[in-house]
Chain A
Amino acid sequence: MSRLEICFNELKAKGQKALVPFVTAGDPSGSFTLSCMHAMVKAGANVIELGVPFSDPMADGQVIQRASERALDAGMTLVGVLNIVKSFRKTDQKTPIVLMGYLNPIEFMGYEAFASEAEIAGVDGVLTVDIPPEESKELTQAYKAHGIAPIFLLSPTSTVERIKKVANVAEGYIYYVSLKGVTGSANLELSEINEKVSIIKQHTNIPVAIGFGVKTADIASDIAKIGDAVVVGSALINCITDHDGTSKAEQAVFDLLNSMRLAMDANATK
């Protein structure tokens, strides 16, 4: 069984939902990211999403765009992200790691080379924002051959036909984008999210994670009632930038995540 499957099974047995933090690797430095990953696990994170910085992040809002720019300016690359994962795995073999980014850096490395390197580094899943299932056959085959889960997005505009297409190829979990817009956008409509996630659940057995717009412990708790996992990204990056990537930043990330963890677990015991 894969790390992702074990993780979700264990949570299910405990009646808990997964807390999935996202940070951009290398913002503001690779060493900060590595240290922050361990802190996030201590705060109660179950899966870590690492953003691979790219110059043209079309689906991201201001916060993650700027994080990408800072990481690239600091010299972060796809190889650098894999090295962070390798270092993380020296002391943590349990927490699943998912890389999230855009296709071009992977195209340049080559699908097979990337999948193979990612497997060696200890990556569990890859979500490539700008490759829908229609274009992903070759890439998905490379991932599956190396035990890496291809993770796909679904959105409020996805029709049942599209949900089926994604359910056919996705492994690990499906990432439901909770709103029309880019990462870090405005308000969430819980009833709409609930309705759509119920439809998705009719077509897949793998977990459904929900993200885009999760900013506070209260929202995390509400979202955890609907999905199997809650993804939080821009709010964490704001913690990092507010404290210029210092040890205070790590503490701020820890505090926000930990408050989400507690709020989500309060659901489970209610």
Chain B
Amino acid sequence: MNDSEKQAAIEDYNLPDDTGHFGPYGGVFVAESLMESIEELNNAYKKYMQDPLFLKELDADLQNYVGRPSPVYHAERLSVENGGAQIYLKREDLNHTGAHKINNTIGQALLAKRMGKTRIIAETGAGQHGVATATVAARLGLECVVYMGAEDIQRQAPNVYRMKLLGAEVVSVTSGSQTLKDALNEAMRDWVTNIDTTYYIIGTVAGPHPYPAMVRDFQTIIGREGRQQMLDKTGHLPDALVACVGGGSNAIGLFYPFIGDKSVDIYGVEAAGLGIETGQHSAPLAAGRPGVLHGNRTYIMADDNGSIIETHSISAGLDYPGVGPEHSWLKDIGRANYVGIKDDEALDAFHTLTMVEGIIPALESSHAVAYALKLAKTMDKDQTILVNLSGRGDKDIFTIAKLEGIEL
């Protein structure tokens, strides 16, 4: 794309189109057996997002059950110690269940109920989306089955136990690389088999249309609140936004309401793992190429023959070989910058935020914090950065203790 084409794409940004595409990305790439259900879901989503009663119920739940609005916090001590721009944190870690994931699960579960579905399934990597799904299923009295890679079950034992306490069945997935992507495959297989009763709550802005648009719409509350909160606190929009990108739901939730605000720079932070050059990372936007995975066309990590390759990140929630198709488009049109943060940089940021501000961030969110600290140093101290602190780090303390050779 040349510069004027990119500019035009940003000017009249209103995506996806009717067929679920963001430029060449997105779409519906699934087997015929799912097409009718996806059509049914698309119709329900379009209908209820216009329905004042549905939106009222959703708003009430977000306020009274999730605890919204989440605050924007000025990390003053961190900003001073780091030098450069002022860092503000959008505190999604303070939501019920400890992450942004519940913004989406509550929306989709209410939709499932309206559609007459009695059974909820989900995939999960770090377990945050699984917990958020099991939570809303418990509250609405819906049967819940969560698919999780066998390797992730080992890495995230506390979240597995939480899901079980909430009444969900956690199914260990032993196919492929035994991580998030395989859990997603298995959930799709369950869905196609139990299509009459079952609603599939995808946890990120991936999957076939309408999921990338629908999950975004449920997550944009992050950016809508954050935009107003920054105006109220500082009198102007932030100069930059920073969020971590695995599938990319917390990031698109923050970014989307700012796409038309040209003065705001946007940074999505992928997991660079042990370093992009080592191949041991989860950074398809930085080091992958467009392809088709899990129902949509997007940047993916695959070998030359088109098979998906295994990814690596210290953070299970970022350990995914694809990315939401809208991020692929925002990259191509140049509206968002996608950068990488390595495992050790994320760990440093984890400790820094914990020690300096008394906030224990999720390892996923630590990637965003790490990049914000770098970026801030290149900016003036009267400039501002809004970072999405997408989750709290309690779930990660076992991983970190283990890395540091401490037995809990």
Contact = CB atoms under 8 A, between A and B. Distances in A.
Interface of A: 53-59, 61-62, 65-66, 69, 72, 77-79, 102-109, 129-132, 134-135, 152-159, 162, 166, 177, 180-182, 185
Given A77-B305, A135-B27, 5 more contacts: A56-B181, A58-B188, A132-B32, A157-B37, A181-B192
Contact of A104 (B33, B36, B306): B306
Given A153-B32, A157-B36, A158-B32, A69 B176 contact: yes
Interface residues of B, number: 39
B32 A152 contact: yes
A56 B306 contact: no
Contact of B306 (A65, A109, A130, A162): A109
B199 to A, nearest CB: 15
B291 A104 contact: yes
A129 B31 contact: yes
A177 B305 contact: no
Contacts of A55: 176, 302, 307-309
Given A132-B28, A181-B192, A105 B307 contact: yes
Given A56-B181, A152-B32, A78 B292 contact: no
Given A54-B306, A56-B293, A157-B37, A131 B192 contact: no
Interface of B, secondary structure class, is mixed
Nearest to A186: B193
A59 B308 CA distance: 16
Interface of B: 19, 27-33, 35-37, 175-176, 181-182, 185, 188-189, 192-196, 289-295, 297, 300, 302, 304-309
A197 to B, nearest CB: 15
B305 A105 contact: yes
A79 B307 CA distance: 13
B35 A132 contact: yes
Contacts of B194: 180
A139 to B, nearest CB: 11
Contact of A131 (B29, B188, B308): B29
B33 A157 contact: yes
Given A54-B306, A135-B28, A180 B33 contact: yes
Contacts of B181: 56
A129 B188 CA distance: 13
A72 B304 CA distance: 13
Contacts of B308: 55-56, 104
5 contacts: A105-B305, A135-B27, A152-B32, A157-B36, A177-B33
A130 B27 CA distance: 11
Nearest to B290: A107
Contact of B193 (A56, A107, A166, A185): A185
B292 A130 contact: yes
A132 B296 CA distance: 12
B35 A103 contact: no
B37 A134 contact: no
A157 B39 CA distance: 11
A185 B196 CA distance: 17
A239 B113 CA distance: 44
Nearest to A59: B31
Contact of B31 (A58, A106, A134): A58
Interface centre among A65, A131, A157 (most CB of B within 10 A): A157
Given A65-B175, A69-B176, A103-B292, A79 B32 contact: no
B296 to A, nearest CB: 10
Given A108-B305, A180-B193, A130 B295 contact: yes
Q: Which 4 A-B pairs have the closest CB atoms?
A: A105-B306, A108-B306, A55-B307, A153-B32
B312 to A, nearest CB: 16
Interface centre among A56, A104, A177 (most CB of B within 10 A): A56
A153 B293 contact: no
Nearest to B32: A153
Nearest to B175: A65
Given A108-B291, A182-B189, A135 B305 contact: no
Interface centre among B30, B32, B196, B305 (most CB of A within 10 A): B32
Contacts of B297: 107
Contacts of B192: 59, 180-182
B294 A162 contact: no
A30 B194 CA distance: 36
A72 B35 contact: no
A53 B305 CA distance: 10
B29 A130 contact: yes
Nearest to A157: B36
A162 to B, nearest CB: 6
Contacts of A135: 27-29
B36 A159 contact: yes
A55 B305 CA distance: 10
Contacts of A130: 29-31, 292, 295
Interface centre among B28, B189, B194 (most CB of A within 10 A): B189
Nearest to B33: A155
Interface centre among A61, A107, A129 (most CB of B within 10 A): A107
A105 B305 CA distance: 6
Contacts of A134: 19, 28
A61 to B, nearest CB: 7
A55 B176 CA distance: 7
A78 B306 contact: yes
A109 B300 CA distance: 15
A104 B189 contact: no
A61 B176 contact: no
A106 B306 contact: yes
Contacts of A159: 36
Contact of B29 (A103, A180, A182): A103
